[in-house]
Amino acid sequence: MYSEQVLREGLKTKQFGCKIYTFDTIDSTNNCARALAGCWAEEGTVIISEEQTAGRGRLGRPWLANPNENLTFSIILRPALLPDQLNIIPLYVAVAVTQAVERVSGLKVECKWPNDLLIHGRKFGGILIEGSVKQNAVEYVVVGIGINVNQERFAGDLAKTATSLRLQKGAQIDRKRLFGEILSSMEAHYATASNSHFQSILPLWRSHTSMIDKKISVMEHGAMVSGVVRGFSPEGGLVMETDGKERTFFAGDVTVVGS
């Protein structure tokens, strides 16, 4: 379905989507983006594919999406951040994608730290950030975005946890329009948030999550840690109170237990 020409129709961005590489099938758009980024592809370059044969999510999980129904794409960024400031990037992307999805679908989106997008507690979108660091500087960041747009059936365990915008809205969503809105939203926030090392994204992130004061469990290096979410650190970490002490997590698999 995708052709660069069709995707460009109505695209309002300057930098994001400066180059768009389209594929019918690819192993993973993130793999392709990393290869291009390593060869000095311009910031804002997009790789989009109808189908991924080895699409992946966080923590080594597969990302499965039917062709012709969803959005699976990656964008190359070169943010002026130090390597230890990169944990804020998933929050920036989640806010930008959330606002675009809300605008196009009229649905209310919930962000789950660090990079899951949910509607009514079911996941419809995920973000995979992969960066390259050289001599203590960020060389590039690849932002991989997977959105279940019009898929109506999910196989196996996903049937219990996944959803799509089509299922939630009860109507088809225009994928091309959503793609354009996501790029616009990302570009707009990138321009403003870059000036503050992305700190300005934190109040927006807080307004799109209901995790604060919720009981959660975090799987960290094979061990389960339980506690209550107290907030998010300026670097994008999750602040959890556990055993009377506050701890900040920068990675891990979070399960929300209750309030």
Positions touching ligand BTN (CB under 6 A) are 28-30, 52, 55-58, 61, 63, 72-74, 116, 126-128, 144-146
Q: Toward ligand BTN, which CB reaches closer, 59 or 80?
A: 59
Shortest distance in whole angstroms from residue 256 CB to ligand BTN? 15
Q: Toward ligand BTN, which CB reaches closer, 213 or 253?
A: 253
Shortest distance in whole angstroms from residue 245 CB to ligand BTN? 29
Element (H, E) at 105: helix 89-105
DSSP string, 205-251: HHHT---TT-EEEEEETTEEEEEEEEEE-TTSPEEEEETTEEEEESS
Q: Toward ligand BTN, which CB reaches closer, 57 or 228?
A: 57
Shortest distance in whole angstroms from residue 246 CB to ligand BTN? 26
Q: How far apart are CA 152 and CA 161, in angstroms?
A: 13
Shortest distance in whole angstroms from residue 202 CB to ligand BTN? 21
Distances (CA, A) of 180 to 186, 202, 238: 10, 24, 30
Q: Toward ligand BTN, which CB reaches closer, 116 or 187?
A: 116
Q: How far apart are CA 255 and CA 249, in angstroms?
A: 14
Q: Directed axis angle between helix 175-193 and helix 89-105, to 10°? A: 140
3-state helix, strand, coil in the chain (%, to 5): 30, 35, 35
Shortest distance in whole angstroms from residue 243 CB to ligand BTN? 29
Q: Toward ligand BTN, which CB reaches closer, 53 or 136?
A: 53
Shortest distance in whole angstroms from residue 196 CB to ligand BTN? 26
Q: Toward ligand BTN, which CB reaches closer, 1 or 80?
A: 1
Cβ(73)–Cβ(179) below 8 Å: yes
By Cβ distance, which residue is nearest to ligand BTN? 126
Residue that the structure tokens 């969803």 belong to: 70
Shortest distance in whole angstroms from residue 43 CB to ligand BTN? 18
Cα angle 69, 72, 73; round to 5 = 145
Q: How far apart are CA 38 and CA 32, in angstroms?
A: 10
Q: Toward ligand BTN, which CB reaches closer, 127 or 201?
A: 127
Residue 146: closest CA among 2, 26, 49, 81: 49
